[in-house]
């Protein structure tokens, strides 16, 4: 078969692919109470499907040229030195924390028994890597108004010589107080990992979240700001050594840094002598860490490159949807507490009021969180049931207070109370666990979806 015919067939396949997607994804009429309103979901068009099919036609599959391009484009968007693709946001957190255990960091490495400060209410895979690497999480409380840490708890959690790092998420896209957390870490020579999985595109002052710590992480699972189906990334903010270590941990623990399909980029493949191996042992099979295989596929990266082009529009939609919901639910402040961005003191229909002397933040909202007040005519569970009955997707704030989860309760029993430390009573995290839920802000929502969400919440409190 001639090259010209191959090109023709490929073009025909891609054209028919676009046609199929355009026919299949035509908007469907919305019927309140019958049509499902997800809290999140994929938002894509023929561009992503064509890119994925085109990559599949080459049948490279393993992470390769599309992956390299996506990593470069993501790092450029964020303003970090390097982004490295992995197969999920949870894997990104595991790779990031494990990177800080490398012997190549000398005395600053995290060793078994060292402590890492985190917050109590959130998603479990922000915390699980701390335990999986043999370290001890130290839980501090959340502020229910922002969903983020109470910065005044940091000093109480710190133990000189034992505390090595801080690792926590920007809750539902709301940046935590990076000014205070960065200052705290720098003054004590601590590492900082930002779990940026729910916050791609959020800004603290004039910088993106995910650029303040030593490492940060992303998730590309379908509910997130952009999707590869599955996938995630580790962002290396500045330190070049982290790139080598994180790639080693992602790629089986190998010492070699050659990309797939390439050999001898160091020009010394058969000249190394490391560990107790013989001189000249093949560098492709020398392992400097206990690693994993956590790479995604190249067609996923091809899809992600198209998603990344749409990210500014996606972010603006999330901001607009959050604002629309907040305006629509104004007047329910006696029964509901609403989230405020970090450093905001109040919300009005004309915008937020900000603390004097603090940077303004611009959340790329992952969801719209509400907390049912004590004395309201129904509980959080009642509100969730009302939303469910109206076919409106809603979620708790992930695992709630994680120290109450069965896995953590059992771990603490198994380790005779030494699995983790808790600072204070965690009243804020408990309130989030008992009273909070969130509904969607994702770009796939239309005005009729948002109006149905507003009407359902108001009706639940007899205020429609």
- Residues known to be catalytic: 224
Q: Which of 427, 454, 424 is nearest to 440 (CA)?
A: 454
How far apart are the C-alpha atoms of 160 and 164, rounded to whole Å? 9
Alpha helices in 162-268 (DSSP H): 178-188, 240-250
SS3 84: strand
Half-sphere exposure of 155 (CA within 13 A, CB side): 4
Q: End-to-end distance of the chain based on CA atoms, in angstroms?
A: 67
CB 400 within 8 A of CB 429: yes
Which helix (H) or strand (E) is 411 found in, with range? helix 406-414
What is the helix (H) or strand (E) element at residue 130, kind and residue range? helix 124-132
CB environment 251-263: b (16+ within 10 A), e (fewer): bbbbbbeebeeee
Angle at 342 between CA 326 and CA 176, to 5 degrees: 125
Residue 303 main-chain phi, psi, to 5 deg? -65, -45
What is the token pair recorded at 110?
């995290």
């Amino acid at each position: 078969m001639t090259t010209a015919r191959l090109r023709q067939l490929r073009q025909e396949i891609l054209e028919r692919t676009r046609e199929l997607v355009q026919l299949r994804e035509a908007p469907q009429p919305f019927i309140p109470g019958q049509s499902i309103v997800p809290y999140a979901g994929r938002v894509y068009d023929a561009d992503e499907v064509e890119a994925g099919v085109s990559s599949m036609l080459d049948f490279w599959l393993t992470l390769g040229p599309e992956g390299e391009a996506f990593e470069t484009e993501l790092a450029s968007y964020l303003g970090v030195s390097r982004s490295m693709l992995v197969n999920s946001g949870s894997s990104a957190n595991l790779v990031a924390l494990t990177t800080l255990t490398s012997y190549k960091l000398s005395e600053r490495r995290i060793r078994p028994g060292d402590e890492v400060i985190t917050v109590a209410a959130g998603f479990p895979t922000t915390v699980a890597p701390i335990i999986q690497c043999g370290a001890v999480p130290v839980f501090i409380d959340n502020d229910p108004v922002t969903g983020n840490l109470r910065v005044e708890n940091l000093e109480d959690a710190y133990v000189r010589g034992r505390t090595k790092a801080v690792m926590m998420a920007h809750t539902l896209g709301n940046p935590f107080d990076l000014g205070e957390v960065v200052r705290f870490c720098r003054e004590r020579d601590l590492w900082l990992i930002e779990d940026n999985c729910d916050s791609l595109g959020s800004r603290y002052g004039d910088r993106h979240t995910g650029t303040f710590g030593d490492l940060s992480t992303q998730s590309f699972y379908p509910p997130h700001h952009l999707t590869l189906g599955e996938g995630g990334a580790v962002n290396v903010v500045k330190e070049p050594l982290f790139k080598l270590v994180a790639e080693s941990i992602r790629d089986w623990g190998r010492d070699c840094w050659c990309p797939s399909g390439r050999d001898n980029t160091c020009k010394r493949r058969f000249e190394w002598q490391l560990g107790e191996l013989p001189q000249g042992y093949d560098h492709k099979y020398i392992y400097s860490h206990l690693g994993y295989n956590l790479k995604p596929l190249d067609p996923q990266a091809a899809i992600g490159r198209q998603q990344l082009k749409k990210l500014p529009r996606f972010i603006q939609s999330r901001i607009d949807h959050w604002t629309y919901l907040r305006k629509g639910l104004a007047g329910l402040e006696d029964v509901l507490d609403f989230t405020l961005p970090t450093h905001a003191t109040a919300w009005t229909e004309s915008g937020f009021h900000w603390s004097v002397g603090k940077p303004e933040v611009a959340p790329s909202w992952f969801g719209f969180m509400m907390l049912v007040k004590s004395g309201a005519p129904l509980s959080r569970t009642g509100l969730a049931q009302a939303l469910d009955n109206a076919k409106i997707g809603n979620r708790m704030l992930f695992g709630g207070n994680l120290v109450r989860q069965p896995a953590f309760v059992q771990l603490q029993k198994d380790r005779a109370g030494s699995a983790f430390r808790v600072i204070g009573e965690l009243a804020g995290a408990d309130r989030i666990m008992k009273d909070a839920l969130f509904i969607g802000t994702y770009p796939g929502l239309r005005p009729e979806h948002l109006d149905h969400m507003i009407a359902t919440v108001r009706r639940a409190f007899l205020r429609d």
